[in-house]
Amino acid sequence: MKNFFRQNGLLLALIALLLSILIGVGSALLGGNTDPLSNVVNTVASPIRGGVSAVMDWAEGVYTYVFHYQELHDQLSDLQVKVSQLEEQVRQGEEASRENEQLRQLLQLQAKRRDFTFESARVTTRSTSNWESTLTLSKGSAAGVALGNCVITETGVLVGVVSQVGLNWSTVSTVLNTDIEMGGIVTRTYSAGILEGSFDLMSQGRLKLSYLPEDARLVSGDEVVTSGKGDVYPSGLVVGQVEGVFTDPSGMTRYAVVLPDVKLDSLVEVFVIKDFDIVE
């Protein structure tokens, strides 16, 4: 029915208009008296006029809906663009805040360890399995990075040691890797041992502090740092916390299981210690 009115609305409107004119003329000629013909014409024309009016109202409603729909669609598109822009600003703000905090902590570390010469680098890839735990960095020999350099976070937490160097890249054996071996010491008791990775502990994200003295009395939560013995690595780099003390299967020595403070999975930027003062 709507299609009929939409297709023939103009013709029906013209017919209704002509009938209205005829009725008006007839009424005028007859002195305002209603005759049978007028009644017939009005009876026929009334539903037609109602139909035409309904069609016009419907068309106006459709036009209004389409107009407002397009207007709302445009507003939604504008809002989506603004939301995207705001999200990008938030991301940039968070990144700037993280960088500022990292710089602040690095400055604090530099104030404590003025002997350190740093080179910042980004972590480009990481390899963690039951057999190895390594990171690839964005800096190499061209930036002065060398084999044996210690790698730390901005707070001085040990990440690992450089084990391979290219011109513009380097590989770091993390504190969990089995080729790690350096002196460690418990800050509370000054109990010294050797920090080393273990295949058994690597999958658990732990390492050992081996060859502990018999009289060592360690408790869970004791802090472990590098001892600097041997003058190969800096002293005082935070390694992690003691989780427990155990006896070697041979029954000859004791060792502590250490949970590293570094969060290897979330590292973005690290700092290579290219030079440091040897403490006698």
Tokens of 18: 């002509």
CA 203 to the chain's CA centroid: 26
Is 68 a domain residue?
A: yes
Q: Is 97 a domain residue?
A: yes
Q: Note whether 206 and 254 are same-domain residues.
A: yes
Nearest-angstrom CA–CA distance, 99 and 235: 26
For residue 280, tell me if it sits in a domain: no
pLDDT for 89 beyond 80: no
pLDDT single digits (tens) 47-86: 655 555 665 666 566 556 655 666 766 777 777 776 766 6
* CATH code at position 253: 2.40.10.350
Question: Looking at the structure, do residues 134 and 243 belong to the same domain, yes or no?
Answer: yes
Provide the β-strand partners of residue 170: 137, 165
Residues 34 and 125 in one domain: no
The verdict on 100 and 123 lying in the same domain is no
Which of 56, 79, 112 terminates a domain? The answer is: 112
Q: Which domain holds residue 171?
A: 117-275
Across the range 247-255, mean pLDDT stands at 84
The residues pairing with 169 across neighbouring beta strands, listed in sequence order, are none
Could you tell me if 106 and 130 lie in one domain?
A: no
Task: Work out the angle at residue 148's Cα, subtended by the Cα atoms of residues 240 and 144, and round it to the nearest 5 degrees.
Answer: 115
- Entry pTM: 0.64
Backbone angles phi, psi at 93, to 5 degrees: -65, -40
**177 in the same domain as 270:** yes
Residue 236 within a domain: yes
- Answer yes or no: are the C-beta atoms of 41 and 23 closer than 8 Å: yes
Per-residue confidence at 253, pLDDT binned at 50, 70, 90? confident
Residues 175-196 as b/e (b if ≥16 CB within 10 A, e otherwise) read bbbbebebbbbbeeeebbbbbb
Same domain (yes/no): 30, 125? no
pLDDT at 2 over 80: no
End residue of a domain, out of 94, 112, 130: 112
Q: Please give the Cα distance from 74 to 26 (Å, whole number).
A: 54
Chain segment 121-175, per-residue pLDDT in tens: 999 999 877 788 999 999 999 999 999 999 999 888 999 999 999 999 999 999 9
Which of the listed residues 83, 112, 141 is the one where a domain comes to its end?
112
For the chain, how many structural domains are there in total? 2
Q: Is residue 58 part of a domain?
A: yes
121 and 73 in a common domain? no
